Structure 1
């Protein structure tokens, strides 16, 4: 760079091979970078860390102004020496959950792609090191907080402290990232700069936790004065809490003669959709931390995990008790905070058990016997297994820059990581890493991962891709049919033991999979896709369009009904009762009302969507209330119903919207009704694999060595077979070959 003039708006050629980022970069024209600073030599790592417990940390110097250069040094420390440092948890890309970078339009020499990253300089030992916009923002804001105005900020940052260009170092350092975040004195979580009233949201969350803590400790003399000014009465906190209760209709619009303002739910909801909540790595970074500080712009919340967790619990409880407000919240933060709670509780149980001896686990306040404590520990271990972590990460559609990280980011948390025996190796492709995961569970006869296999024919285009291997990079944000934490799970194969065989064509490629199973039926009719709509602020016209779609599912086209009647007559004429359509003729007793019930339960995938006060009722009553809820939802005079009935109808609508997201309703040749992935088509088969919780939709593709081969399209709900009813008889079990 010597002798050249580098200015904002200019593209830089790729730096030398020792630099961690090898692509061209665009400098933010608002960063006020001096020409002489850009002419500094590039920073090169002193040595690579390919083994042992040594790490690098940054020592960032204080600055008088926000835009002053980020000047720092790099230090090498062994984690075995328990060094003092903090760790940063942030997102490499934009802090906001935008699909594309919203750039200002500059007068450029060349118009770059929309998602081309802006570059910012970090000066390490007076040498130049390029970092991204999010990290630049984070370090400047954190450096500006009171604690670091006159003190060095000693912090571990993955993008700088790991040589991202050295594969062996990256493998080694990523392997010990759990230890890094665990040993850090504080994990600083950077949510991004102030935007969308985030300052108001941060203040509101702090007010709510302050109010709760005052209420908890106000009657305890032992804690009097413990929190000093923090515990002093604050009317502002009371107003914020009242505004929250007003949102759920718990209080009137005034308090002490004053108008209660609206709770800033949009600002809080926006804060909870920041990109940080969508990173798979943050599960580990948050879960293992000793202390957590959330930073957003100029605002910071120490112990932010408690603050956010308390708010979400209060919101969730209010939804169960009083119904959903107009604005719902992103569910991803629950997953993050629950994972931290599970890990911390498991650690407490194990430490108390170890310190007190066998059977003394009863010291835990939430257990009353040694057996209960051990059962809780087992439950927590299961919830922190790789299987469960993958389920949680998939449901939240957590993202990672590299496909392999959808697995590697969870290994440090997984309670069964030793059994898995997975070594972090970035030389393996994500396809290779993903293909190894099902093998581990297939060897145990566990088919849970098939739930996350969803494919259309075009995605199975190469010899390497297997339809029975989940693509963990895909969008799995919909709620699955098999795994639901709030309700019972299904047992479609009625505890039958899985029958598994690998079919190899070439040992350099993943095998095909042969599973024992029963073909239930073929799909004959599929619905249109449900109109896309957010449940937040749903307007009456859009809701009416969705209800019209439900009505179209309840009343399929006349040609389909005529075909069903014709097949019913034919099956009766030949005495075929096994394949007799489920829909009787209109003269039959309750003919279409039976079909209506099947549709009712298929739209919610068989899960009773009732308020919490109804959950303890008898099963028959729950079924009746659910069917009533659908009818009320479709009724034109819903307004005349009592509040409890309207609440049930709202719950049904919410569950129906969740379960029909990216799914279609279908009817089979024999008249069964179900719900399947959006890629299904007439002619596809519905099958139940031995050992599986749910049915699956499969598609014939070709004959392989005399056997029909299939693509796995995805899991399905089929009303009337989910509890293993098909296996009460003697169904024909066959070997089903999956590509």
Structure 2
């Protein structure tokens, strides 16, 4: 539906649903414009389109309008028996056939969802014991909310909460109070309820990219599933409380090993909801001035990197769908433009260029092979495929980076074509030998000769370190630092703490390096090697040893781009051009050492 000519972009179109008469009556509503800066009170709907087929009809201002079955089902559940309900619904309030209007309204969606008094998250009709799931979420969440758990979600009080949940002082009053809540919650977590929770988290809403910003921007978000409702805050607090309970009481609940395995498998299936809660909490913290919130690059990593990637019908919406919640959208200058909906390559090129120009060169770590989008340059991430985490990924987005391969400022070079990225940097060396791919293994707790693949991996790296030493090149600051390479390389110089956070490797890893007997340190060392999965050990002509992408070849170059935290592998092409291959760990150059040993060069990536 087009906007009246006398309406500015400061207005939004709202829908008022008439009260229900009979259950099967045709749904009737009227639409009207209201100023966005001072709107009539309204709720916004967050839901999924499912197949997207417009098969159902409703009456809008007396005329028939076709909508999806999923929306019609939602409207029947949400309409009030005796009062009109005012809603903003994209399917009705935006002309879906008008790309220009879609772009304009998508650009306003951030303001629309912020302005709504509530965002109703429609998950679908009751099924798979969802009523039991919602009841447990609400019971546990309400008790945690009344105790004040949400007040600890600030930078100042977060350390106190960590002491409470880790039971640093079991006699502490707050610790005792909180774990009384946890103890009351755990009996509610039966296998039936766990299965219901897992099914709840598998609902289509949790798989779509657009709903992330709708949920994240809401001042108040309400999950609606069948006839049950629960606030987003209560759902978050319930999830966190039950998570703490599982961590503390896992060894006594459930009683049998078989039940434990089933329970943990089901509980891990709740993981997808964490992205939604984390993004919403970051946005709330940003609005309260507690931290900066999430940049577009950080959001793209949360949503599309690793196992729990969200889906979009049109590839361009992998970017457009999170612009409204990013803290740097205006600075990046990225505009929603559906005239490019068939040019995914250009959308991704321009997005990556904007992020790099804004100072985040290490988005390059997510430009991985093979490329599945036609025409996509080698240096541009493909958000429609499975993107693996960088080995230097940090869960805490505000943490300082592990490495600083370049101390220099970003050096962008103007190029005649936007598909070519020009960067200043340093050529480290040419790759001379490559070992086999480290496939990794989740069985990092196994020890001794039961874990042959792990020790074969260590042996490959050790052989390259011996070869490096035989070259007698002065590439390390000291002989003792050279000796450390053999245990730093397998874990990318990042070790795991007791809380499974990554930190720069210490000599504790040296002690665990060749452990063949059971021990926590050895298990954590093996776990740390999983960061380097899918990488190949290599050695350069001068003797630099590292781990690079699986698609690297002999003759590829290790380079450090100005402004980059990591080194990268590139492949020389004809005409002075280079193909970007991927990130690497290269021992001895991760902290800016190469810049005093090489002259600056120009690299044109295609």
TM-score by length of 1: 0.64
For residues 6 and 130 of structure 2, the distance between their equivalents in structure 1, rounded to whole angstroms, comes to 39
For residues 201 and 483 of structure 1, the distance between their equivalents in structure 2, rounded to whole angstroms, comes to 32
Indicate the residue corresponding to 2:569 in structure 1: 697
The alpha-carbon deviation at position 460 of structure 1 amounts to 8.2
For residues 312 and 59 of structure 2, the distance between their equivalents in structure 1, rounded to whole angstroms, comes to 27
Q: Is the 8 A contact 1:434 1:469 kept in 2?
A: yes
SS in 2 for 1:450: helix
**Does residue 426 of the first structure (1) align with residue 294 of the second (2)?**
no
**Does residue 165 of the first structure (1) align with residue 102 of the second (2)?**
no
Distance change >3 Å, CA 88–CA 566, structure 1 → 2:
closer
Q: How does 1:172-191 map to 2 (within 5 A)?
A: 172-191=104-123
For residues 680 and 92 of structure 1, the distance between their equivalents in structure 2, rounded to whole angstroms, comes to 42
Indicate the residue corresponding to 2:457 in structure 1: 553
TM-score by length of 2: 0.77
Q: How does 1:584-603 map to 2 (within 5 A)?
A: 596-602=486-492
For residues 295 and 687 of structure 1, the distance between their equivalents in structure 2, rounded to whole angstroms, comes to 52
SS in 2 for 1:503: coil
Q: How does 1:455-604 map to 2 (within 5 A)?
A: 455-456=369-370, 462=375, 465-476=376-387, 478=389, 481=392, 484-485=395-396, 488-504=400-416, 510-522=419-431, 524-528=433-437, 530=439, 547-556=451-460, 561=463, 571=471, 577-578=473-474, 596-602=486-492
Indicate the residue corresponding to 1:136 in structure 2: 72
Indicate the residue corresponding to 1:86 in structure 2: 43
Q: How does 1:121-520 map to 2 (within 5 A)?
A: 121-125=56-60, 127-143=63-79, 148-215=80-147, 241-242=182-183, 261=190, 264-301=193-230, 303-312=231-240, 315=243, 319=247, 327-328=267-268, 331-349=271-289, 376=290, 380-381=291-292, 383-395=293-305, 397-428=309-340, 429-443=343-357, 446-456=360-370, 462=375, 465-476=376-387, 478=389, 481=392, 484-485=395-396, 488-504=400-416, 510-520=419-429
Deviations along 1:218-258, one digit per CA (max 9) or x if unpaired, are xxxxxxxxxxxxxxxxxxx9999437658xxxxxxxxxxxx
Indicate the residue corresponding to 1:664 in structure 2: 535
Deviations along 1:100-119, one digit per CA (max 9) or x if unpaired, are xxxxxxxxxxxxxxxx7665
Distance change >3 Å, CA 193–CA 564, structure 1 → 2:
same
Q: Is the 8 A contact 2:379 2:580 kept in 1?
A: yes
SS in 2 for 1:199: helix
- The number of residue pairs the alignment matches comes to 557
SS in 1 for 2:494: coil
Indicate the residue corresponding to 2:551 in structure 1: 679
The alpha-carbon deviation at position 690 of structure 1 amounts to 1.7
The alpha-carbon deviation at position 687 of structure 1 amounts to 1.8
Runs of 5+ consecutive residues of structure 2 not aligned to the other structure: 150-177, 252-260
Distance change >3 Å, CA 441–CA 173, structure 1 → 2:
closer
**For 1:55, which of 9, 12, 16 is the aligned residue?**
12
Q: Is the 8 A contact 1:609 1:626 kept in 2?
A: no
The alpha-carbon deviation at position 596 of structure 1 amounts to 4.6
Distance change >3 Å, CA 498–CA 169, structure 1 → 2:
closer
For residues 555 and 626 of structure 1, the distance between their equivalents in structure 2, rounded to whole angstroms, comes to 16
For residues 20 and 450 of structure 2, the distance between their equivalents in structure 1, rounded to whole angstroms, comes to 56
**Does residue 715 of the first structure (1) align with residue 600 of the second (2)?**
no
For residues 335 and 497 of structure 1, the distance between their equivalents in structure 2, rounded to whole angstroms, comes to 32
The alpha-carbon deviation at position 482 of structure 1 amounts to 5.2
SS in 2 for 1:608: strand
Distance change >3 Å, CA 623–CA 564, structure 1 → 2:
closer
RMSD: 4.4
Distance change >3 Å, CA 70–CA 609, structure 1 → 2:
farther
SS in 1 for 2:506: helix
SS in 2 for 1:208: helix
For residues 548 and 119 of structure 1, the distance between their equivalents in structure 2, rounded to whole angstroms, comes to 56
- Higher alpha-carbon deviation: 385-394 or 312-321: 312-321
Distance change >3 Å, CA 261–CA 76, structure 1 → 2:
closer
**Does residue 611 of the first structure (1) align with residue 568 of the second (2)?**
no
For residues 445 and 403 of structure 2, the distance between their equivalents in structure 1, rounded to whole angstroms, comes to 38
For residues 216 and 496 of structure 1, the distance between their equivalents in structure 2, rounded to whole angstroms, comes to 46
SS in 1 for 2:325: coil
The alpha-carbon deviation at position 87 of structure 1 amounts to 0.9
The alpha-carbon deviation at position 682 of structure 1 amounts to 4.5
Deviations along 1:630-681, one digit per CA (max 9) or x if unpaired, are 656xx4x53xx5xxx2xx5565555544x245x2232224665544444334
SS in 1 for 2:350: helix
For residues 649 and 317 of structure 1, the distance between their equivalents in structure 2, rounded to whole angstroms, comes to 27
For residues 284 and 460 of structure 1, the distance between their equivalents in structure 2, rounded to whole angstroms, comes to 25
Indicate the residue corresponding to 1:373 in structure 2: none
Distance change >3 Å, CA 215–CA 466, structure 1 → 2:
closer
The alpha-carbon deviation at position 549 of structure 1 amounts to 3.0
Distance change >3 Å, CA 624–CA 140, structure 1 → 2:
farther
Q: Is the 8 A contact 1:491 1:692 kept in 2?
A: no
Q: Is the 8 A contact 1:79 1:180 kept in 2?
A: no
Indicate the residue corresponding to 1:734 in structure 2: 601
Distance change >3 Å, CA 550–CA 522, structure 1 → 2:
same
Deviations along 1:49-88, one digit per CA (max 9) or x if unpaired, are 984333333333444676x255122311223451122111
Distance change >3 Å, CA 90–CA 287, structure 1 → 2:
same
For residues 81 and 179 of structure 2, the distance between their equivalents in structure 1, rounded to whole angstroms, comes to 33
SS in 2 for 1:668: strand
Q: Is the 8 A contact 1:243 1:263 kept in 2?
A: no
Q: Is the 8 A contact 2:420 2:605 kept in 1?
A: no
Distance change >3 Å, CA 260–CA 193, structure 1 → 2:
closer
Deviations along 1:558-581, one digit per CA (max 9) or x if unpaired, are xx95x9877876x4xxxx52589x
The alpha-carbon deviation at position 692 of structure 1 amounts to 0.3
SS in 2 for 1:451: helix
- Higher alpha-carbon deviation: 279-288 or 388-397: 388-397
Larger Rg computed on CA atoms:
1
Distance change >3 Å, CA 198–CA 600, structure 1 → 2:
farther
For residues 367 and 501 of structure 2, the distance between their equivalents in structure 1, rounded to whole angstroms, comes to 34
